[in-house]
Amino acid sequence: MNDKNRQIHAFAARAVFVIVLLLIWEYVAKSGMMGEKSELIFPSLEAIGDAFIRNFIQGYAGISLWVYIGNSMKLLLEGLLIGVVLAFLLSGLSMVSKIFYDICNLVISVFDLLPGVALLPVVIIIFGVKPGVIVFLVVHAVLWPMSRNVLDGFLAVPQIYVEAGMNMGLKGASLLWGVYFPAATSYIVSGLKVGWARAWRGLLSAEMIFGVASCPGIGLFINQMRTNMNNAEMYATLVVIIMIGLVVQYGVLSPIEKCTVKKWGMSR
Amino acid sequence: MTKEKNYILEVNNLSKIFDADTEQEKDVLKDVSLKVDRNEFLCMLGPSGCGKTTLLRCIAGFESYKGSVTVNGVERTKPGTDRIMVFQDFNQLFPWKTVEKNIQYPLKLQGIRDKQELKQRTEEVLQKVKLSGQEKYYPYQLSGGMKQRVAIAKALALKPEIILMDEPFAALDAMTRNELQSELLRISMEEKCTFIFITHNIQEAIVLGTRIVVLAEGGRIVVDEKNAIARPVTPASEGYGETWERLHSALYQ
Amino acid sequence: MKNKILKTMAVCMMAVLLAGCGSSDQAKETSGGQKEAGQEQNADGEAATLNLAYQYGVAYAPLSIVKEQELIEKAYEEATGKKVTVTWNQMSSGADINTGISAGSIDAGFMGAAPAITGVTKGVGYKIFTNLSGQEHGLMTNDANIKSFDDLIGSSNQIALVNIGSIQHILLAMALENAGYDPHALDANIVAMAHPDGMAALESGNASCHLTSNPYIFKERQEENLHEIMDVTQAWGIDDSFIVGVASETMHDNDPDLYQALCSAIEKAVNYINDNQEEAAKITCEFDGNSEQEELEYIQKSKYTIETSNLFELASFMARTEFIESAPESYEALVFDNVSGN
């Protein structure tokens, strides 16, 4: 009962917040506050709504936004998957070998600081000019924060679980899989959240400066709309990006959280 | 050779040094030797810092040491399911598994795959600790006493040679503690299993132990005697007072 | 407990908001401060300011002269007796400058002919007030088997160029049309990346072609294992408008003196660079990060003029091939009255 009340409250608060934000936007757009060319750089909600539909029907260069989204998602999922698997591998190996841990720790600290886009020239030379470059940049965006989280999670596993596991005859990989992974779930989930957001942003910024025309993505679409001064379309695409982000947050990440750490009483 | 086989556990000249080769170097255990008979309930009393927990952890295989630990005449250096540890900390169950799964997981690791057998063993041990019907709960939904019961059930299900208990009831309130003591006493009398039980509570040692050992600094054994008081022991039992006094003076000498 | 957390959060948010306001106030103060300084110097007149946006490279070389020799300030003072504060903003793309001008924070800017045409036809509120430079462009390849468009169309060969919809992309389309192909026949072969990345990709063999401009085209032409597909060079050459200047209609209409000062400053700088190439190279090499020798070479290989060339043709082509949505009616719709050329 109380819980339900809280949910309604939370929903109402969010709804009010969003509506107020939209009203402010509309007021700024309509008031001419942004100068004479207001409708060009600060389009009204109606214009953005129209552009939203136009993006999917007409798209750019005769290709609907759906196709761009599809291409981006494909590269994103590929990169995300590789990144997550590598992160598990890196942090797993770090727990097994002290030397590997020391090296890994340094590598994570160093590479996490490098913006993926700055690596582009090197990546192009190594990987060539193909969508794989984008995948690489997504992997780069996910891998380090994710590894850091998983590693921190492993280090925070209470000794007693490890000893209980060893007592049952677990060791090496089976101990990692049977104790460390489940015990670090809350860290892994928060790593996934950070990793997902970084991957999504990394993908878009990579696509905005490195575009393979045979596999055009959302970033390229946004850049095109910007180049052509189609700001309403650009904002509409940003809305699409936000919507995809929300779908992943509430459709994928929250359920994962609900049936793991929340169910186990490891997080409220 | 045959003489040695009589002992389920032998600890020979076990030494453990903390912070070796530093200024804080400390001999936690110095040349400790101990022989335990099959089906004994050995209570180990000792003041804080006497090394009793370290000794138990060495036996469990969690620590490295000098000397040897043999179970059934075979030397053990790594943890194994023949010596199951029950910790003092309530949070020794895996929070991501239900009560049932916590009990069944180590069994599965032992190669028991048959669902029927798993289920039957779980029911059996839960009944022993009086937790029948609580299979589906997650640990966070249980009280401290219930968690310790599950931990004991989990240990029993594995049918180990020795159950090592490190003050498992020390963090419980007095009522639950008494309750669990009598449960454990009943179980220990029913089971064919050896117990090594660490406590700093003299009453607990007298109630539970068939043999009582008092350790002093460095793991030196100052008392090692059979508990002759007829079971079940209450403070009114004959000989309780003298035993208590004797152990108390050995502890605080 | 919960209330305490909420309160702390509210305080934090307030702090952030206030800090935000503070910093924007500060930003205003500095620009206001500049205005005040201008006012003090012109006690009798209003303070004039000019916000300019430019980009990076040898194609913008005359601007370094304008900046260094304070040509706008001098021309304005000569004509009106008043001072003007000129602010130079280096921006990274024509699209950014377009947004800046339509928001009113930029008065005039310099960019590629293509984004300028996009801006004019989109109604950003500016027109072209001068041509700045023409440059050489070329399509280089590292594959000896590629000799013409025939070898590229339908193949999986990749063409690196700076961006989809950029002037290089348009030139590719133009060259294709001139050669009798569909102007968008090679669109799927494009990979968009910055000039230096494209050069690296070409040299390392990761992309088979690179469509680029001065100075990268000269560097690539010197390499033995690369050769050029001439169609692009022929489609749009050094004589054709590449970089142009745009000025907001507001400035053109409201402050004709300032507009005139801007036009004449650019003209002077262009003349200067054409008459004193060595001197000019000394000034501009620092801005462009080249050695004096290189800079001189690149300047000599550029064409600096204030007269536009084939601008309307470019706009018509862009409209016809759907790079822009609507075609300008005439050359005059693209440029202000004072601009000569076509």
Which chain B residues are closer than 8 Å to A163 by Cβ? Answer: 60, 62, 79, 85, 87
Which chain A residues are closer than 8 Å to B141 by Cβ? Answer: 265
Q: In chain C, helix, strand, coil percent, each to 5?
A: 50, 15, 30
Q: Do A36 and C250 touch (CB under 8 A)?
A: yes
- CA pair distance A19, A21, nearest whole angstrom: 5
Nearest CA in chain B to A175: B109
Chain C interface includes A227 (CB < 8 A): yes
Chain A interface includes C185 (CB < 8 A): no
How much is the pTM? Answer: 0.79
Give the CATH number of domain B2-82+161-251: 3.40.50.300
Tokens 């179970």 belong to residue: B71
Average model confidence (pLDDT) across chain A: 89
* Angle, alpha carbons A145-A148-A153 (nearest 5°): 125
> What one-letter code names the amino acid at B129?
V
Banded model confidence at residue C194, pLDDT cuts 50, 70, 90: confident
| Residue C268 contacts residue C262 (beta carbons within 8 Å) | no
Q: Do A169 and B110 touch (CB under 8 A)?
A: yes
Nearest CA in chain B to A160: B92
Domain membership flag for residue A267:
no
Chain A interface includes B132 (CB < 8 A): no
Chain A interface includes B139 (CB < 8 A): yes
C47-135+240-334: CATH class: alpha beta
Chains B/C: 3 or more C-beta pairs closer than 8 A? no
Which chain B residues are closer than 8 Å to A170 by Cβ? Answer: 109
Residues A10 and A134 in one domain: no
Nearest to A129 among C102, C207, C322 (CB): C207
Residues A1 and A75 in one domain: no
All CATH 3.40.50.300 domain ranges in chain B, comma separated:
2-82+161-251
- CA pair distance B25, C83, nearest whole angstrom: 81
Which chain A residues are closer than 8 Å to C193 by Cβ? Answer: 120, 124, 129, 209-211
**How much of chain C exceeds pLDDT 70, in percent?**
87
pLDDT at C4 over 60: no
Q: Do B85 and A163 touch (CB under 8 A)?
A: yes
User: Is the pLDDT higher at C118 or at C36?
Assistant: C118
Residues A131 and A211 in one domain: yes
Tokens 């709309």 belong to residue: A225
Residues A29 and A83 in one domain: no
Q: Do B89 and A160 touch (CB under 8 A)?
A: yes
Give the CATH number of domain C137-235: 3.40.190.10
Chain A interface includes C103 (CB < 8 A): yes
- Cα separations (Å) of B199 from B9, B69, B97? 19, 21, 29
Chains B/A: 3 or more C-beta pairs closer than 8 A? yes
**How much of chain B exceeds pLDDT 90, in percent?**
65
Chains in contact with C, where contact means 3 or more Cβ–Cβ distances below 8 Å, are: A
Q: pLDDT by residue (tens digit) across A212-245? A: 888 889 998 998 888 888 889 999 999 999 999 8
- Cα separations (Å) of B91 from A159, B82, B106, B127, B142? 11, 22, 17, 21, 11
Residues A72 and A161 in one domain: yes
Chains in contact with A, where contact means 3 or more Cβ–Cβ distances below 8 Å, are: B, C
Residues A134 and A192 in one domain: yes
pLDDT at C37 over 50: no
Q: Which residue in C182, C193, C199, C208 has the most chain A C-beta atoms within 10 A of its own C-beta, making it the best mutation to test that interface?
A: C193
Residues A175 and A79 in one domain: yes
Domain membership flag for residue A63:
yes
Determine the structural domain holding residue A5 and report its residue range. Answer: 1-42
Residues A138 and A17 in one domain: no
- CA pair distance C139, C184, nearest whole angstrom: 16
Number of domains in chain A: 2
pLDDT at C33 over 70: no
| Residue C176 contacts residue C185 (beta carbons within 8 Å) | yes
Q: Which residue in A167, A168, A175, A258 has the most chain B C-beta atoms within 10 A of its own C-beta, making it the best mutation to test that interface?
A: A167
Residues A36 and A116 in one domain: no
Banded model confidence at residue C43, pLDDT cuts 50, 70, 90: very low
Q: What is the ipTM of this complex?
A: 0.89
Tokens 């091939």 belong to residue: C321
Nearest CA in chain B to A262: B96
* Angle, alpha carbons B137-B138-B142 (nearest 5°): 80
Residues A35 and A61 in one domain: no
Size of interface A-B (CB pairs under 8 A): 63
Q: pLDDT by residue (tens digit) across A67-101? A: 999 999 999 999 999 999 999 999 989 988 889 99
pLDDT at C6 over 60: no
- Smallest CA–CA distance, residue A90 to chain B, in Å, is 24
Q: pLDDT by residue (tens digit) across B72-100? A: 889 999 999 999 999 999 999 999 999 99
Q: What is the dihedral of CA B64, B67, B71, B72, to 10 degrees?
A: 160
Residues A19 and A148 in one domain: no
Banded model confidence at residue A17, pLDDT cuts 50, 70, 90: very high
pLDDT at B3 over 70: no
Residue-level pLDDT at B85: 94
Nearest CA in chain B to A261: B96
Compute φ and ψ for B42, nearest 5 degrees: -95, 115
Q: Do domains C47-135+240-334 and C137-235 have the same CATH topology?
A: yes
- Sequence spans of domains, chain C: 47-135+240-334, 137-235
**Alpha-helical segments (H) within A114-230:** 120-127, 132-155, 159-167, 173-175, 181-183, 185-209, 218-227
> What one-letter code names the amino acid at C293?
Q
Nearest to A125 among C104, C206, C325 (CB): C206
